């Protein structure tokens, strides 16, 4: 039988896209394998469907294998590729930033419901990380001015890069701890997805969390230290009728509502995700009189009323 000779530039049946994906899918999650291969090739996902028989060069195949080894060791795909999609944005991420989660888009949706378009509103996003929430709101409300803060200079640098890369100009960035980064400033709406996992929680030793910055994840024995600080300090930075929206753990809705109630917020509610799990709790500062229609609460379908 005649042996096949493969010359430089020819497709070896072992290095076609299809063959490499079969091998990779036996090593890591199939979707992760596709993302890593597309990253090596610099191609969009749609490219895969028509190119199963294309060959990779030896260099590309070796690079792909190196990425598979990193993923096998547990490193998150987003840190390997250096980016993650959020809302309508492609965001750079690094081990200095949390990897933005799709669940956080619920916080963005809830904020947008309370931010009438076309108004020069002021918005703050505390603990912005990659800038996910701040940049999504700034893009959707181009006439608003958004301020994004973080206590991590490395994270803030990534967020600034993401603003530039996504051509979003109505965001400014401040380094500092929660509202101390914004002295004397007042806002129509403040968002935060702060660290909310309890110190020592066993989940911190599992999955992607092992690779994410500790300061982005855990905060005190019950995970609520950051939320307590923000709930306490936000009223001095909210305009009358202004909203505070907080993402939190699935079992923290009641505790966060109680914190807002004890700090005299009104219109307090917890919003649930599609699986009816508590995700976001919000409240606002009283108007001290009439409430402009534009800032009235829109109660979504999946909303748990305040326990109080």
Ligand X SMILES: C[S@@+](CC[C@H](N)C(=O)[O-])C[C@H]1O[C@@H](n2cnc3c(N)ncnc32)[C@H](O)[C@@H]1O
Check residue 173 for interaction with ligand X (CB under 6 A). no
Q: Does 162 bind ligand X (CB under 6 A)?
A: no
Least distance between ligand X and beta carbon 181 (Å): 7
Indicate the residue among 56 and 168 with the shorter CB distance to ligand X.
168
The single residue among 20, 40, 100, 166 that binds ligand X, judged by CB under 6 A, is 100
Q: How far is CA 83 from CA 20, 36, 49, 135, 278, in A?
A: 23, 11, 22, 15, 28
Query: Binding ligand X by CB under 6 A: which of 104, 170, 218, 270?
Result: 104
Q: Which stretch binds ligand X (CB under 6 A): 6-14, 22-30, 148-156, 274-282?
A: 148-156
Residue 249 lies near ligand X (rule: CB under 6 A): no
Asked if residue 78 binds ligand X (CB under 6 A), the reply is no
Q: How far is the C-alpha of 289 from the C-alpha of 130, rounded, in Å? A: 38
Minimum CB distance to ligand X, residue 152 (Å):
4
State the Cα angle at 259 between 254 and 263, rounded to 5°.
Answer: 145
Look at the block and give the residue holding tokens 């933005």. Answer: 100
Phi/psi of residue 12, each to 5°? -80, 140
Q: Residues of 177-195 as b/e, b for ≥16 C-beta within 10 angstroms?
A: ebbebbeeeebbbbbbbbb
- The C-alpha atoms of residue 122 and residue 113 are separated, in whole angstroms, by 15
CA dist 124 and 244 (Å) reads: 10
Give 241 or 249: the residue with its C-beta nearer to ligand X. 249
In the region spanning residues 128 to 147, those forming contacts with ligand X, defined by CB under 6 A, are: 128-130, 132-133
- Residue 91 Cβ, how far from ligand X at the closest point, in Å? 9
Could you say whether residue 76 binds ligand X (CB under 6 A)? no
The site for ligand X (CB under 6 A) is made up of: 98, 100, 104, 126-130, 132-133, 149-152, 155, 177-178, 193-195, 215-216
């Amino acid at each position: 039988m005649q042996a096949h000779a493969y010359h430089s530039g020819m497709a070896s049946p072992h290095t076609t896209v299809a063959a490499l994906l079969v091998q990779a899918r036996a090593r890591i999650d199939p979707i992760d394998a596709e993302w890593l291969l597309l990253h090596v090739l610099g191609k969009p996902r749609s490219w895969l469907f028509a190119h199963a028989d294309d060959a990779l060069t030896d260099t590309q195949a070796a690079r792909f294998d190196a990425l598979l080894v990193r993923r096998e060791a547990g490193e998150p795909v987003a840190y390997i590729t250096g980016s993650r999609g959020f809302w309508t944005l492609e965001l750079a991420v690094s081990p200095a930033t949390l990897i933005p989660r799709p669940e956080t888009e619920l916080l963005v949706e809830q904020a947008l419901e309370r931010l009438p378009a076309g108004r020069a509103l002021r918005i703050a996003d505390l603990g912005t990380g990659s800038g996910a929430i701040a940049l999504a709101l700034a893009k959707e409300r181009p006439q608003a001015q958004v301020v994004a803060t973080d206590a991590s200079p490395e994270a803030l640098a990534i967020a600034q890069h993401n603003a530039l890369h996504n051509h979003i100009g109505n965001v400014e960035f401040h380094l500092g701890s929660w509202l101390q980064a914004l002295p004397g400033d007042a806002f129509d709406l403040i968002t935060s997805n702060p660290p909310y996992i309890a110190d020592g929680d066993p989940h911190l030793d599992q999955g992607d969390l092992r690779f994410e910055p500790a300061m982005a994840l855990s905060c005190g024995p019950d995970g609520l230290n950051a939320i307590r600080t923000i709930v306490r300090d936000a009223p001095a930075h909210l305009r009358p009728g202004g909203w505070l929206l907080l993402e939190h753990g699935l079992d923290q809705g009641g505790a966060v509502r109680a914190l807002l109630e004890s700090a005299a917020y009104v219109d307090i509610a917890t919003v649930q995700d599609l699986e009816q799990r508590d995700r976001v709790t919000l409240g606002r500062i009283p108007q001290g009189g009439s409430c402009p229609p534009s800032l009235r609460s829109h109660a979504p379908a999946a909303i748990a009323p305040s326990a109080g």
